[in-house]
């Protein structure tokens, strides 16, 4: 079982790198493993400044993950309007929002029981 934890950690690091490379903002990692009946182990939440920026973040995540570990999301939803794009990597689900949409839905508030980590951007 240790191998899947390592790959989850590696996947998380690659996703964060992908967000960081195109200046995605306000990156948070929510660890959901101690909460019952969750659909995944982790949420990564970030935002972009426009629909173009949101799509750039999504593309950067896909490229970074695919290049490093030849993995692609099981499902991607929301790319058409790019206000909220959900990328499902099974154990890790990525939410890429436009800022005002993120504030409206307040995913972090809904999952208040999760272990919460703010990721400092290395680029800004």
DSSP-assigned letters across all residues of 13-69: HHHHHHHHHTT-EEEEEEE-TTSTT-S-SEEEEEEESSHHHHHHHHHHHHHHHHHHH
Number of independent structural domains in the chain: 1
* 71 domain-assigned: yes
Boundaries of domain holding 52: 2-119
Give the CATH number of the domain where residue 57 resides.
Answer: 3.30.460.10
* 69 domain-assigned: yes
* 52 domain-assigned: yes
- pTM (2 decimals)? 0.91
* 124 domain-assigned: no
Give per-residue pLDDT as tens, 79-112.
999 999 999 999 999 999 999 999 999 999 999 9
Give per-residue pLDDT as tens, 34-55.
999 898 999 999 999 999 999 9
């Amino acid at each position: 079982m240790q191998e899947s934890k390592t790959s989850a950690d590696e996947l998380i690091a690659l996703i964060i790198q992908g967000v960081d490379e195109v200046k995605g903002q306000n990156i948070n990692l929510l660890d959901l493993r101690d909460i019952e009946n969750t659909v995944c182990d982790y949420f990564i939440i970030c935002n972009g400044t426009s629909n173009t920026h949101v799509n750039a973040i999504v593309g950067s995540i896909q490229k970074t993950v695919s290049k490093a570990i030849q993995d692609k999301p099981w499902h991607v939803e929301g790319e058409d309007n790019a206000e909220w794009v959900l990328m499902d990597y099974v154990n890790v689900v990525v939410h890429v929002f436009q800022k005002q949409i993120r504030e409206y839905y307040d995913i972090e508030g809904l999952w208040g029981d999760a272990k919460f980590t703010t990721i400092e951007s290395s680029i800004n």
